[in-house]
Amino acid sequence: MRSAASENVRTLPAAGSTAAEPQTNHWPRNPGMDLDLSWALDTRVNLSAGERRVATLPGRRTVKKDAQAAWLLKAVTCIDLTTLNGDDTTERVKRLCAKAMSPVRQDILDALGMGDRRITTGAVCVYHRFVAAAVEALQHSGIPVAAVSTGFPAGLTPHHLKVKEIEASVADGAKEIDIVITREHVLTGNWQALYEEMKDYRAACGSAHVKAILATGDLKTLRNVARASLVCMMAGADFIKTSTGKEGVNATLLVTLVMLRMIRAYEERTGFKVGYKPAGGISTAKDVLNYQFLMKDELGREWLEPDLFRIGASSLLADIERQLEHHVTGAYSAFNRHPIG
C-alpha cells in the first residue's frame, strides 16, 4: 500500500519542498557580532498583540489526514530525543539511541508508503556522562549527540568549570552543546556579562554547534526574553532554546513568537540564520503542529528542517507514532506500544 501521505511528505508544507528525511542545508554558521546594546535595550514586546496572534493560531491553521501525517513525520526528524533524569543509565541511553535510529515502526512507515525512506530523529540529547556511550551507539547513523552543559539546569557552577564541561563533551564526540545562560545577568540587566559568557561558550564548542538555553520561565518578562535572545545571537549562538525542561514554565507559543521575531530581526540585520528549539511541555502531536505552523508563518519553509528547528522532547515521539498508527489503522493504541527507549 502506498498512501498519499508519502506525496504529502514530499511536498510538506508547500509545493516543491523535500521529504521527511533529515535535510542538511549547510547554512553558514552565525559568527556573531559586536554587542549592540542600543539594539537590545530599544527592543519592546507588544504583549496584547502577541497574545492575540497565538490565540488565533489553532483556528487559522489546521491539517488533516495525509497532510497531518506528513507534518508529523517531518516533526520526528526535528526531535532532539532526550533523557535528562537523575536515574539515567548507560543501557537507557543505548535504548534511546536505538529508538532515535528507528523512531517510527516499520509497519507504520510501510503503510504510509514511506518504508524505503530513512527517517531518524534530529539528535539524541544526554548529560555529559553519557556522551561517549551515545556516540558509540549512534556510530555510522549520522545522528549527532547533543550534550547539556554549563551546570545544567541551574547554570550556577563556576564559569571555568562550565567551559571545561563543554570541552569535555566535545572531546567525547558531542556535535552539539546545549548551554544554560546565567539568568542573573538577564534579571540584573548585565548584558555585557551575558555577551562575554556566551562568547566563551561559543569558543569552547569549536566546531560543535551551540544552543543557548534562555530558561524563559525564569526571565520574568517577554522583554527580557527578547533582549536575551538578541544578545546570545550577537555572541554567536547557533540556536536559541526556550527551556531546560526543569523550570516551572517551559516552552509556550507566546515565548516562541517573541524568540522567532528576534531571529527574524537578527537575520534581517546580519544575513545569518539562527535556529530555534522549544523544549519542555511539548508532549502531544497537536502541540507540535502548532509550533510548526508558527515557525513556517514567522520564519519560512527553511525553519522546518532540523538544521534550523529542533524540539526538545521524549514522550512527544510516542504520541506522534500513536497518531500515525491511528491514521493507517483507524484505531488508537496504548502508549506502552510506542516506547521511546
The enclosing domain of 74 has a CATH number of 3.20.20.70
Domain for residue 24, yes or no? Answer: no
Domain for residue 174, yes or no? Answer: yes
The total of other beta-carbon atoms located within 10 Å of residue 75's CB is: 27
Give 72-106 pLDDT, tens digit per residue.
Answer: 999 999 999 999 999 999 999 999 999 999 999 99
Domain residue limits at 84: 5-14+36-337
Taking 90 as the threshold, does the pLDDT of residue 8 lie above it? no
**DSSP designation for 282:** -
Domain for residue 294, yes or no? Answer: yes
Of the chain, the end-to-end C-alpha distance in Å amounts to 29
Taking 50 as the threshold, does the pLDDT of residue 1 lie above it? no
Please give the single-letter amino acid code of residue 206: G
Domain for residue 23, yes or no? Answer: no
The number of distinct structural domains making up the chain is 1
Domain for residue 71, yes or no? Answer: yes
Dihedral, CA of residue 169, residue 91, residue 142 and residue 215, to nearest 10: -50
3-state secondary structure of 177: strand
Domain for residue 26, yes or no? Answer: no
Domain for residue 138, yes or no? Answer: yes
Name the band, by pLDDT with cuts 50, 70 and 90, for residue 17: very low
Domain for residue 233, yes or no? Answer: yes
Please give the single-letter amino acid code of residue 167: E
Catalytic residue numbers?
A: 178, 241, 277
Claim: this prediction has a pTM higher than 0.95: no
Element (H, E) at 215: none
Cell triple for residue 296? Answer: 513556517
Alpha carbons 38 and 11: distance in angstroms, whole number: 42
Give 236-264 pLDDT, tens digit per residue.
Answer: 999 999 999 999 999 999 999 999 999 99
